[in-house]
Amino acid sequence: MHKRATSGSELGAIRALLLVVLFLLGAAPALGHASLIASEPATGTILTTAPDEIVLTFSEAASALAVHLIDVDGTRTALTNDAALADGNRIVVTLPSGLANGTHMLSWRAASSDGHPISGTVIFSIGAPSEAPPAAEPESDAAVRSLLWLSRCIMLATLLLGAGSSGFRMVAAALPLLAGRVAIAALSVGAVATIATFPLHGLDALGRPLADFGVPEVWETTASSAYGASALAALVAMALASVAILARRPNLAGWISLSSLVAIGLTASLSGHASSADPRWLTRSMVFLHVASIAWWAGELLPLALLLRQASATAKPPLLRFSRFIPYVVAPLVVSGVTLTVIQLGPPGPSWWTPYTYLLVAKLLLLVVLFAAAAWNRWFLTVRVVAGEHMAIRHLRASILLEVVLILTIVGVAAGWRFTAPPRAVAAAVASSEIHADLDFDSGQFTGGLSINPARTGPNVLDVALSGKDGEAAPALSIRVFFSKPELTMEKFEIVGVMGATGWHAEDAILPGAGIWIVSVEVRISDFEKAHAKTNVVIAE
Amino acid sequence: MLNRILISAAMLVGLTGPTLAHIGVTPRGAAIGTTYRGSLVVGHGCAGAATTQVRVQIPEGFYNVRPMPKAGWQLETVTGKYATPFDSHGTTLTEGVKEIVWSGGELPDGQFDEFTFRGTFGAQLEVGTQFYFPVLQQCGDVEDAWIDTTGDAEAEFPAPSVELQPAAGHHQ
Per-residue confidence band for A325, with pLDDT thresholds at 50, 70 and 90 = confident
Q: What is the ipTM of this complex?
A: 0.78
The verdict on a CB contact (< 8 Å) between A528 and B148 is: no
Pairwise CB contact (< 8 Å): A529 & B145: no
Nearest-CA distance A491 → chain B (Å): 11
| Residues, chain B | 172
- A155 and A52 fall within a common domain: no
Please tell me the predicted confidence (pLDDT) of residue B45.
87
- CA dist., res. A233 & res. A261, Å (int): 10
Decide which of A185 and A10 is more confident.
Answer: A185
Same domain, A383 and A330: yes
DSSP 8-state class, residue A83 = G
Identify the H or E element spanning A440.
strand A435-440
What is the pLDDT confidence band of residue B82, given thresholds at 50, 70 and 90? very high
Residues of chain A neighbouring B134 (CB-CB closer than 8 A): 528-529
Closest-CA distance of chain B to residue A522, Å: 10
Please indicate, yes or no, whether residues A76 and A207 belong to a single structural domain of this protein: no
The model's pLDDT over A462-481, given as tens digits with 9 standing for 90+, comes to: 999 888 777 677 778 889 99
**Domain count of chain B?**
1
Residue A445 confidence (pLDDT): 80
Give which of A528, A530, A532 to mutate to test B binding, by max B Cβ within 10 Å.
Answer: A528
Q: Does residue A470 form part of some domain?
A: yes
A123-127, A164-168, A309-313: the lowest-pLDDT one: A309-313
The Cα of A528 is separated from the nearest Cα of chain B by a number of Å equal to 6
Last residue of a domain, one of A61, A93, A126: A126
Task: Give percent of chain A above pLDDT 70.
Answer: 83
State yes or no: pLDDT of A8 exceeds 90: no
Q: Are residues A478 and A416 in the same domain?
A: no
Domain assignment present for B129: yes
Within a domain: residue B71?
A: yes
Residue A32 clears pLDDT 50, i.e. is over it? no
Least confident among B13-22, B40-49, B90-99, B147-156 = B13-22
pLDDT at A22: 41
Can you tell me the mean pLDDT for A303-321? 77
Residue of B nearest to A532 (CA): B150
Q: Are residues A173 and A314 in the same domain?
A: yes
pLDDT at A397: 86
Above pLDDT 90, what percent of chain A?
8
* Angle, vertex CA A379, rays to CA A378 and CA A381, nearest 5: 70
Question: A13 in a domain, yes or no?
Answer: no
Region A399-426 average pLDDT: 80
- Band (B20; pLDDT cuts 50, 70, 90): very low
- Asked if residue A248 and residue A159 are part of one domain, the reply reads yes
What residues of A are in the B interface, CB distance below 8 Å? 442, 524, 527-530, 532
Average pLDDT over residues B136-149: 92
Q: B6 or A51: whose pLDDT is higher?
A: A51
- Based on the fold, state whether residues A232 and A278 are members of the same structural domain: yes
Q: Which residue of A has its CA nearest to B152?
A: A532
- Tell me if B57 and A527 make a contact (CB, 8 A cut-off): yes
Average pLDDT rounded to a whole number, residues A78-107:
81
Question: B148 and A529: CB-CB below 8 Å?
Answer: no
Question: Are A271 and A302 part of one and the same domain?
Answer: yes
Indicate yes or no: CB of A530 within 8 angstroms of CB of B136. Answer: no
At B1 the pLDDT is 44
Of A383, A398, A425, which residue constitutes the final position of a domain?
Answer: A425
- Name the nearest CA neighbour of B70 among B107, B109, B28, B19: B107
Which residues from chain B sit within 8 angstroms of residue A524, using beta carbons?
145
Q: How far is CA A130 from CA A276, A457, A486, A538, B50, in A?
A: 39, 21, 9, 13, 44
CB B134 to CB A528 under 8 A?
yes
For residues A270 and A162, membership in a common domain is answered with yes
DSSP characters over A346-402: -SSSGGGSSHHHHHHHHHHHHHHHHHHHHHHIIIIIHHHHHTT-HHHHHHHHHHHHH
Q: Tell me the pLDDT tens digit for each residue of A487-497.
A: 655 567 788 88
A528 vs B150: CB contact, 8 Å cut-off? no
Ranked by mean pLDDT, the top range of A5-14, A32-41, A85-94, B103-112 is B103-112
Question: Would you say residue A271 has pLDDT above 70?
Answer: yes
Task: Identify the pLDDT of residue B13.
Answer: 39
- The verdict on a CB contact (< 8 Å) between B145 and A532 is no
Q: Give the best-scoring range by mean pLDDT among A175-179, A251-255, A467-471, B93-97.
A: B93-97
Report the candidate in A206, A276, A207, A266 with the shortest Cα–Cα distance to residue A231. Answer: A266
How many angstroms separate the CA atoms of A502 and B57, rounded? 28
* One domain for residues A351 and A242: yes
The answer to whether residue A265 is domain-embedded is yes
In this model, does residue B162 exceed pLDDT 90?
yes
If you average pLDDT over every residue of chain A, what do you get? 79
Q: Which of B55, B131, B156 to mutate to test the interface with A (most CBs of A within 10 A)?
A: B156
Range of the structural domain that residue B134 is part of: 20-165
Q: Are residues A324 and A350 in the same domain?
A: yes
Range of the domain at A522: 434-539
Query: Among the listed ranges A215-229, A370-384, B113-127, which one has the minimum average pLDDT value?
Result: A215-229
**Domain-terminating residue out of A425, A451, A474:** A425
pLDDT at res. A283: 85
The mean-pLDDT minimum among A26-30, A318-322, B7-11, B50-54 falls in A26-30
pLDDT for residue A348: 77
Q: Is residue B44 part of a domain?
A: yes
Is residue B139 situated within a structural domain?
Answer: yes
The closest of A258, A263, A186, A276 to A231, measured between CA atoms, is A263
Residue A134 lies in a domain: no
Give the helix/strand (H/E) hosting A517.
strand A515-526
Residue A25 in domain: no
Residue A371 has pLDDT above 60, yes or no: yes
What's the CATH number where B120 sits? 2.60.40.2230
Q: How many domains does chain A have?
A: 3
Q: Which of A12-21, A190-199, B147-156 has the highest mean pLDDT?
A: A190-199
- Reply yes or no on whether the pLDDT at A136 is more than 50: no
Q: Tell me: the pLDDT tens digits for B41-75?
A: 998 888 778 999 999 999 999 999 999 999 999 99
Write the CATH number for A92: 2.60.40.1220
Q: Check whether residue A419 and residue A439 sit in a common domain.
A: no
- Residue-wise pLDDT for A165-181, tens only, equals 787 877 777 777 787 88
Q: Strands of chain B (E only): list them.
A: 24-26, 29-31, 35-42, 51-57, 62-67, 74-88, 91-107, 113-121, 130-132, 135-139, 142-146, 161-165
A451: domain CATH number is: 2.60.40.1930
Range from A134-148, A367-381, A383-397, A437-451 that averages highest in pLDDT: A367-381
Model confidence, pTM: 0.50
Q: Which residues of chain A have a CB within 8 Å of the CB of B136?
A: 527-528
Q: Are A460 and A515 in contact (CB under 8 A)?
A: no
The residues, any chain, with a CB within 8 Å of residue A405's CB and separated by 6 or more, are none
Within 8 A by CB and 6+ apart from A77, the residues are: A68, A69, A70, A71, A96
Q: Which of A268-282, B1-15, B80-94 has the highest mean pLDDT?
A: B80-94
